[in-house]
Amino acid sequence: MLASVTAAVAATLDPSAVVIAARGGGEPWCCLEQPEREGLALATLGAAHELRASGGERFGSLAADWRALAAAAFRDQPGSAPGSGLVAIAGFAFAPDGGRAPHWRAFPPAVLTVPEVSLVRHRGALALTLTVAVAPDDDPEAMLARAEHRLGELRAAALPLLDPAPIGVYSVASAAPPEHYEAAVARAVEQIRAGSYEKVVLAREVDVHAPIAFDPGAVLGALRAAFPTCYVFCVGRGEAAFLGASPELLVRREGMRASSVALAGSTRRSADPAVDDHLGERLLRSEKDRSEQAIVARRIERALRPYSIWVTAAPEPALVRVANIQHLGTPIRAQLAGPHAAIELAGALHPTPAVGGEPLTVAGPLIPALEGIDRGWYAGAVGWTDAEEDGELCVALRCALLEGPLARCYAGVGVVAGSDPAAELAETEVKLGALLPLLAG
């Protein structure tokens, strides 16, 4: 059984900085932020309980297990901020059975981690939740002492800064030659034009070797400063940290309302406002990019309909601009027909054609062979769910897996009939630009 208590704390604290400073070796921790969304930040430490699953039913299995666990928990009233109160951090790999490569060993195919400590900042207020696992024969005084010790480890802190002039040699290399990626895109285009499927997303891995171990706290701080509109996340498990700045919402569930965003079609940004506007206008008029975007929007609408009274999408895509790239995005909203959990809805949507393929049954199995990499949690889902089964999960994009002095960076693009291999390779370089400048010295 779980027992959870929430209280207001000093709003001057930086939740992510507190967790980064207090985390212990090997224990799970997480920071999730969307700075321009009224300063929203959720940071968690430790594990009072953990739920795991794998296989094709992993989303539904975890949703059911979490429903039972939360219903049996002792907790005070939920907070008003998203993610406050009794909460679980959600992480899902792209593939049903997760990453098989050794570097993904700490990241299961599906996991819900109930933290011992969570800090939520929203609209200038900060709440702290302490959760403990309680057994019938527990000594109340010993349990209280453990809780007090956990709280005593927390302290006001600032995030570490990236070294502006690092010493030593950094090397950057693709896990596979760029020519391999162009050839994979060319093969996919041939299959699409032959009518095998409509779209497939192909990703690359680019590795950064540093002279010293990467500091995930410093990289997180730089990401949230550079990408304040994105879902900035860092999930620490074992000796590794998975972090990124994703522009893509997979699903948000608030009571009987659900929302998602179809995000597909991209172009670069420019420091010149006139050029930037021209690039955006050209993207809006691009037949290839609009076709790619429409595939994603149709699938999301279709996936939500069985759970909803109605589903509606914006009539036209709009530009979604982040620091180094702009996308076509279509907001999609639904009125749910029943109390379907956020995790359950995420399972209905994942993977969207923005990271998988269409139809998925045909394109999906081809992805590993075409890419030649192990995606692990890249293009999976990261987020949270609470005791009311509300929650929010983003698609894990523009991300890297940090372990010691090695950073594995991931980026992908959607391949359709009109794709050009060289142009798609160039687009991955733009997307890798979110992290490579921060990691490569």
Residues ≥6 apart with Cβ < 8 Å to 80: none
146 φ, ψ (degrees, to nearest 5): -65, -40
* Residue 115 neighbours by CB distance under 10 Å: 28
Residues ≥6 apart with Cβ < 8 Å to 440: 170, 172, 208
Q: Which of 33, 116, 248, 389 is catalytic?
A: 248
Q: Phi/psi zone of residue 355: left (φ > 0), alpha (ψ -120 to 50 degrees), beta?
A: alpha
Q: Which of 116, 198, 199, 292 is catalytic?
A: 199
Give catalytic status of residue 248 as yes or no.
yes
C-alpha span between 248 and 396 (Å, rounded): 8
Contact of 34 with 40, CB cutoff 8 Å: yes
For CA atoms 162, 22, 236, 116, the dihedral sign is negative
Give catalytic status of residue 199 as yes or no.
yes
Q: Return the active site residues.
A: 199, 248
